[in-house]
């Protein structure tokens, strides 16, 4: 079988995770081109990862690289343009979360891909993280009876790149950035059951000087099947990345922790190279993690997407899932302002989701 | 110093914890009498714990036992009568949670004690649990900067006694029974900061055949100082008692787990005597706990209360705290029905709190 | 690059782990043939894993399958014959632990491979287990100063296959089966420093009815560089597979746990499919593991070996390492009988290592 | 019942732990006097703890304070003199570990107490630590079948006081200081089964500049009932005090950890007051412990000893137990030099145990 040719859009943090995943674990794919807005970053990335073609010309990479798949690892606000161009060029699309900034964009992206007959594959890695998939498997075997509550949390002390903190670019704060993981995972665990309502509370507690966006949020999603799901997200948690889930059922419980729950425990008087994502220090006690990309499910996810392209299969997680997540995020922002649960469907017209919380700026 | 004479009302689960705590750790107290509604239980309890006087006559025990302090370990619906009688007899009062079934009862109980000049000491042991107090101490030393979020959860698979499941007696389900711990602890950690609003969602997921009361709840309390507090409570969690807290601050985090986080880890092919409260089995892996009463803070709490009586000091946790907790519980039930956050103060007139969720029955 | 053709010898537990590892993670290899002593097992294995050629004729598989590499996943006592035949047929060799039953066999196997110019690659997966490699990396970055003590333990409740329990086939009990992992890992962590002496104590505590071999052992290896290393191994530990290491240094410590330290935590009233290797039950609390082969390092190890063949590189772990491990195992058995530390080198002539403990039978 | 009058000898680290234990948990005792070699320390201790009589005159405190019990919290090398004087004055004795420096001293101390008809109560707190006692209880209930292996370890980064590092005063290094805990606990778990042989390896790895004594040791004690017991002790482990045990049986296992296994988990950017004994820092991740004295069993132990005096009962842990521990320590030092297991009984005449390892200095 010929390798599937992939062009990566983006040369930042997540693009690096994707390419490590492809190179180590997805031999069915070949990364043939990279685009970045900054041509020096594109060059550096290409040289580091042995990619032949690199450019700051989006059209060129999409249309002329000879790729079959576009892997969009760009900031939120660039998802729309990249997707439409890729669809117009008949390229299948892998797209990082969140799907887009607005529901209108999401709808247009989904429609464009449908019209072009290309797959829009939503890269929510928690649906593939092997530890969480193990949990889902045992739950489906009846280990805990019927699920009645789900909890998922992702926390760290804040992203590095500036655009996250500019709500006009990002569309929102930590809920937009990390809450989408929890929401997608809830739907995934419940076999895409319909969400019924959303309640949220959020605030800016640590990065007040840097952003108007929320950096701590709690979101309660209620599903039509009776399940209550609680998402906790924070850019205000020191000590390193944290990603945990809890499943409560009528016949038992399962707790899974992707970082501290997978780590070694080390005490170092003097420190060392790297402990884990967003860790402040390696002096004293640390929880060094290993195989971070693998343990978060990136290779499994990308392998699946490439297989879908090769075998013309429906991907397990699609643009529609991404849209459903974004709708719940909209409702969460609105709820946080109104102080009441918002019923779904909910699709007001705003230029960015956080306007529903802060009012438009 | 003379020992303070205490009469215990109740001979059930919590009365046993109290008396173990007194006998092992509070030599300043002497338990001289026990009351139970069932005289055989009073007798058995008295014999087991070497208490001279035992009775099913409440008035007799309160008025004639010669006690200085009444320790109320009775079900919710008996708190009111016992408190008023104790106050009328000029006895100081230790009272288990929740304070009462209604806010009206609470107000009357507080007033009666104030008028009689007796202390109404609210027995919320989480304010004394040594592990949680260690957390509070380091937080007050600045370990984590400013608190922005608190979480507390208490879960097991349901109480044994039938009255819990009869909402006409208990006043509510798991929120009434265990959510009061979290809510009291939030106020305690925040130096009795004022709660501003309450949002809750709850359902009956496991004990549907046995009760109309909620057996799983999530409550979000927002405080005037900006802190968000999330209480999770369940009577639907198998595997043994669970009691955990998490403190999030601008300078760090602290996680404390009173049960699994204190336990040994054991694997037994054939099983053994007792692992921990509400554990279903001792076969396979278990988390056997030790010194359960001590680790939950009961001795520390009771020692403090007796000291307050002996030294005529203000107790750290009072009937007013219990009332504040009950008010938040009221708001939580109302919120669960209305689907919106309820602002405080909130003091509607109902015959029991859960009527605010279910409507009156 | 052409895929490297591999023939697997063996169709049991470890052969299945190897083939899962090849198929999922080592696309550079192609498994073209399988040999088993029982032709039905060979057939079943071949059909399950889509292998074209299968046979109970060892010579045929080695000589005629067209393979370049022979992967020996057979019981200890068949390692010698298979290796000599593979070397005689100019095939590179991957060989599972322990290398052989006797040092004489080991020397002959190493010599035969050297003479034939083929690689003898010793498959000690702990040298590749990603969590342990992460530990080694941080240790090499100076995280804990100078190592002064190492501990490694592997325990479960006993292997399934009967041959393990027949010391005339296996050569020894748990030390032979699992102690080799610890000993190899010690050498690996210490950059193949020379072991100086060995002390051991062992006994048969659980499987007395089934074997004369030891099922619990403690081995202390002292290295010339001053490091003390303690290996603890057991076939008498209920509750599932356990694999842990501890590194002590003048500047810190690191603890790594491959199973319980990677697992989810689940409570199931009724049980479910599979928790982890050698777990007795899935009822009650369990520690379900995920990606077991990956987390133990099998894919990393096999990928490395295939790379060595393709690039004609020296493998990181060789037959010489396997021989060094076996020598230490010899010394351990002798020490257990003599009650004193045995100095290295130590190469007495025995028909099987456990004779040094039990006397020849 | 009258309070039992106790005079404490010593005003250092362990004396402070004892007095906290008495004051908080042993109301049956009254501490009426304190002796220290440095009169300023005696005064400070007395003022801090409200003790009426304080002195640097040992005879005076023993003979004239009016005490019934002498609690010896002095360094090793002062145990002998204090015990003989206390026995001569007809005082019951509580004595901290290790019992004495030499076996001859131990024998004389035991004889003197027997002759005087006073109790010699060996303060090995691990025999009373509630978590470990919980383990012992479930083991005695049959939870794990028959014990075949015990492990116990105590580690930190080295004591503060200088005398520990002077082997002429201490008699030995970490084995003498902390290994006695493990050895006593092994005997305690096995109902004082007879130890048969001892093997040890030890070295000086961290405190080479400061002491000739061993600062890291591994000791294997084999018991006549077939149990293997492994004690690991270190003064070279950074990151705070560590105290763990593991029990392996034919029907299961139990793991208990007194420090990290009881702790909260905290991340602090800036640090705070105190985490746990011997912790280097409170910045970054820490494991703050609570109720340290209680969790290590000091109150339980002292309460038991005072009860024995009041009720004229045999203490659970006696001078004979302390002597048995010392004998095993002797054998361990000899084994470490000879490289072979030493059979018991073993009572060579040396001026200090470590001479058996280093030769006399």
Residue D284: list chain A partners with CB under 8 A.
Answer: 239, 280-281, 283-286
Q: What is the pLDDT of residue A277?
A: 72
Best residue of B142, B154, B199 to probe chain A, by most A CBs closer than 10 Å: B199
Of all residues in chain A, the percent with pLDDT exceeding 90 is 95
Q: What is the pLDDT of residue C361?
A: 54
Whether chain A has a CB inside 8 Å of the CB on B232: the answer is: yes
* B window 131-170, beta carbon within 8 A of D: 131, 133-135, 137-138, 141-145
Residue D263: list chain B partners with CB under 8 A.
Answer: 261
Q: What is the mean pLDDT of residues C243-271?
A: 96
Contact between D28 and D310 (Cβ < 8 Å): yes
Nearest C-alpha of chain A: how many angstroms from D170? 28
> What is the band of C273 on the pLDDT scale with cuts at 50, 70, 90?
confident
Of all residues in chain B, the percent with pLDDT exceeding 90 is 95
Nearest C-alpha of chain B: how many angstroms from A237? 7
Q: What is the pLDDT of residue D280?
A: 72
Contact C238 B267 (CB under 8 A): yes
Q: What is the pLDDT of residue B44?
A: 98
Q: Which of A226, A230, A237 sits opposite B218 (nearest CB)?
A: A230
pLDDT at D361 over 70: no
Q: What is the pLDDT of residue C63?
A: 97
Q: Which of A133, A254, A266 sits opposite C138 (nearest CB)?
A: A266
Q: Nearest 5°: phi and psi at B275?
A: -100, -65
d(CA A289, CA A275): 6
Burial class (CB in 10 A: 0-12, 13-18, 19+), D70: buried
Whether chain C has a CB inside 8 Å of the CB on B235: the answer is: no
Burial class (CB in 10 A: 0-12, 13-18, 19+), A361: exposed
Contact B341 A341 (CB under 8 A): no
Q: CA-based angle B230:B233:B236, to the nearest 5?
A: 145
d(CA C65, CA A112): 51
Nearest C-alpha of chain C: how many angstroms from D217? 9
Instruction: Give tens-digit pLDDT for D303-357.
Output: 999 999 999 999 999 999 999 999 999 999 999 999 999 999 999 999 999 999 9
d(CA B35, CA B15): 10
pLDDT at B361 over 60: no
Residue D261: list chain C partners with CB under 8 A.
Answer: none
Q: Which residues contact B151 (CB under 8 A, 6 or more apart)?
A: B229, B230, B231, B232, B244, B245, B246, B248
CA-nearest residue to D239 within chain C is C252
Q: Which of A256, A268, A290 sits opposite C264 (nearest CB)?
A: A256
Whether chain B has a CB inside 8 Å of the CB on A228: the answer is: yes
Residue C280: list chain B partners with CB under 8 A.
Answer: 269, 284
Q: If you average pLDDT over every residue of chain D, what do you get?
A: 96
Q: Which chains touch C (3 or more CB pairs under 8 A)?
A: A, B, D
Contact between C170 and C97 (Cβ < 8 Å): no
d(CA D323, CA D110): 9
> What is the band of C1 on the pLDDT scale with cuts at 50, 70, 90?
confident
Residue closest to B153 by CA, chosen among B70, B235, B272, B73: B235
Whether chain A has a CB inside 8 Å of the CB on B224: the answer is: no
Contact D216 C148 (CB under 8 A): yes
Instruction: Give tens-digit pLDDT for C60-95.
Output: 999 999 999 999 999 999 999 999 999 999 999 999
Q: Which of A203, A226, A252 sits opposite B203 (nearest CB)?
A: A226
pLDDT at A353 over 80: yes
Contact B283 C286 (CB under 8 A): no
Contact B251 D272 (CB under 8 A): no
Q: Which of A131, A137, A288 sits opposite C138 (nearest CB)?
A: A288
β-partners of residue B96 are B123
Instruction: Give tens-digit pLDDT for C200-241.
Output: 999 999 999 999 999 999 999 999 999 999 999 999 999 999
Instruction: Give tens-digit pLDDT for B155-167.
Output: 999 999 999 999 9
Contact B201 A148 (CB under 8 A): no
Q: Which of A253, A264, A282 sits opposite C266 (nearest CB)?
A: A253
Residue D234: list chain C partners with CB under 8 A.
Answer: 149, 248
Contact B250 A205 (CB under 8 A): yes
Q: Which of C239, C252, C341 sits opposite D253 (nearest CB)?
A: C239
Q: Which residues contact C208 (CB under 8 A, 6 or more apart)?
A: none
* B window 72-131, beta carbon within 8 A of A: none
d(CA D322, CA D307): 20
Q: Using N-to-C axis directions, what is the helix angle for B39-49 and B13-25, rounded to 10°? A: 20
Contact D144 B266 (CB under 8 A): yes
Q: Which residues contact D319 (CB under 8 A, 6 or more apart)?
A: D95, D99, D106, D109, D110, D113, D120, D121, D122
* A window 185-214, beta carbon within 8 A of B: 197, 199, 201, 203, 205-206
pLDDT at C275 over 80: no
> What is the band of D289 on the pLDDT scale with cuts at 50, 70, 90?
very high
Q: How many CB atoms lie within 10 A of CB C160?
A: 8
Q: What is the mean pLDDT of residues B162-184?
A: 97
d(CA A43, CA B162): 71
β-partners of residue D30 are D5
Q: What is the pLDDT of residue C75?
A: 96
Contact between B189 and B147 (Cβ < 8 Å): yes
Instruction: Give tens-digit pLDDT for D44-89.
Output: 999 999 999 999 999 999 999 999 999 999 999 999 999 999 999 9
Residue C131: list chain A partners with CB under 8 A.
Answer: 262, 264, 290
List, as own/partner pairs, every contact residues B316-319 make where C-beta atoms lie below 8 angstroms and the sequence separation is at least 24, other chains included: B316/B127, B317/B121, B317/B122, B317/B123, B317/B124, B317/B127, B317/B184, B317/B188, B318/B119, B318/B120, B318/B121, B318/B122, B319/B95, B319/B99, B319/B106, B319/B109, B319/B110, B319/B113, B319/B120, B319/B121, B319/B122
β-partners of residue C221 are C198, C229
> What is the band of D274 on the pLDDT scale with cuts at 50, 70, 90?
confident
Contact B280 C284 (CB under 8 A): yes
Distances (CA, A) of B264 to B290, B310, C156, C319: 9, 38, 19, 42
Whether chain A has a CB inside 8 Å of the CB on C44: the answer is: no
CA-nearest residue to D261 within chain B is B262
Instruction: Give tens-digit pLDDT for B328-347.
Output: 999 999 999 999 999 999 99
Residue A205: list chain B partners with CB under 8 A.
Answer: 146, 148-149, 226, 250
Write the DSSP symbol of residue B179: I
> What is the band of B82 on the pLDDT scale with cuts at 50, 70, 90?
very high
Residue D282: list chain B partners with CB under 8 A.
Answer: 143
Contact between D344 and D198 (Cβ < 8 Å): yes
Whether chain D has a CB inside 8 Å of the CB on C239: the answer is: yes
Helix, coil or strand: residue C184: helix
Q: Which chains touch B (3 or more CB pairs under 8 A)?
A: A, C, D
CA-nearest residue to A287 within chain D is D285
Q: What is the pLDDT of residue A279?
A: 72
pTM of structure: 0.96
Q: What is the pLDDT of residue A361?
A: 54
Residue C256: list chain A partners with CB under 8 A.
Answer: 264-265
Q: If you average pLDDT over every residue of chain A, what do you get?
A: 96
Using CA atoms of C327, C333, C335, C339 in order, give the dihedral in degrees to the nearest 10: 180
Maximum distance among all Cα pairs of chain B, rounded to whole angstroms: 59
Contact A145 C269 (CB under 8 A): yes
Whether chain A has a CB inside 8 Å of the CB on C282: the answer is: yes
Whether chain D has a CB inside 8 Å of the CB on A283: the answer is: yes
Listed range (A42-46, B278-282, C108-112) with the worst mean pLDDT: B278-282
Contact D138 B273 (CB under 8 A): yes
Contact A282 C130 (CB under 8 A): no
Q: Which of D148, D205, D338 sits opposite C205 (nearest CB)?
A: D148
Q: What is the mean pLDDT of residues C306-320?
A: 98
| Cα end-to-end distance, chain C, whole Å | 52
Q: What is the pLDDT of residue A281?
A: 79
């Amino acid at each position: 079988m010929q390798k599937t040719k992939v062009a990566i859009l983006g040369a930042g943090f997540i693009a690096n995770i994707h390419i490590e995943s492809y190179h180590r674990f997805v031999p069915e794919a070949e990364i043939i081109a990279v685009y970045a807005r900054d041509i020096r970053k594109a060059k550096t990335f290409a040289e580091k990862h042995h990619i032949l073609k690199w450019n700051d010309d989006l059209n060129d990479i999409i249309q002329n690289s000879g790729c079959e798949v576009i892997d969009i690892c760009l900031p939120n606000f660039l998802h729309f343009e990249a997707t439409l161009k890729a669809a117009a060029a008949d390229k299948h699309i892998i797209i990082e979360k969140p799907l887009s900034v607005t529901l209108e964009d999401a709808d247009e992206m989904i429609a464009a891909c449908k019209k072009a007959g290309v797959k829009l594959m939503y890269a929510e890695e928690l649906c593939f993280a092997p530890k969480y998939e193990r949990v889902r498997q045992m739950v489906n075997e009846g280990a805990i009876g019927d699920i009645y509550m789900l909890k998922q949390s992702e926390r760290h002390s804040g992203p590095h790149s500036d655009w996250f903190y500019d709500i006009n670019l990002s569309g929102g704060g930590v809920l937009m950035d990390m809450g989408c993981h929890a929401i997608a995972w809830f739907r995934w665990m419940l076999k895409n059951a319909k969400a019924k309502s959303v309640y949220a509370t959020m605030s800016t507690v640590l990065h007040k000087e840097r952003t108007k966006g929320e950096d701590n949020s709690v979101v309660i999603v209620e599903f039509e099947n009776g399940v209550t799901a609680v998402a906790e997200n924070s850019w205000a948690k020191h000590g390193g990345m944290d990603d945990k889930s809890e499943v409560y059922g009528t016949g038992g419980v399962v707790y899974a922790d992707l970082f501290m729950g997978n780590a070694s425990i080390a005490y170092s008087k003097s420190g060392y190279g790297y402990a884990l994502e967003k860790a402040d220090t390696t002096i004293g006690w640390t929880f060094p993690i290993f195989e971070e990309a693998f343990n978060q499910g990136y290779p499994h996810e990308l392998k699946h997407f490439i297989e879908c392209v090769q075998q013309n299969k429906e991907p397990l997680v699609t643009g529609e899932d991404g849209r459903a997540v974004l709708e719940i995020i909209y409702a969460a922002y609105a709820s946080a302002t109104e102080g009441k649960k918002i019923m779904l469907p909910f699709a007001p017209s705003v230029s960015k989701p956080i306007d529903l919380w802060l009012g438009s700026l």
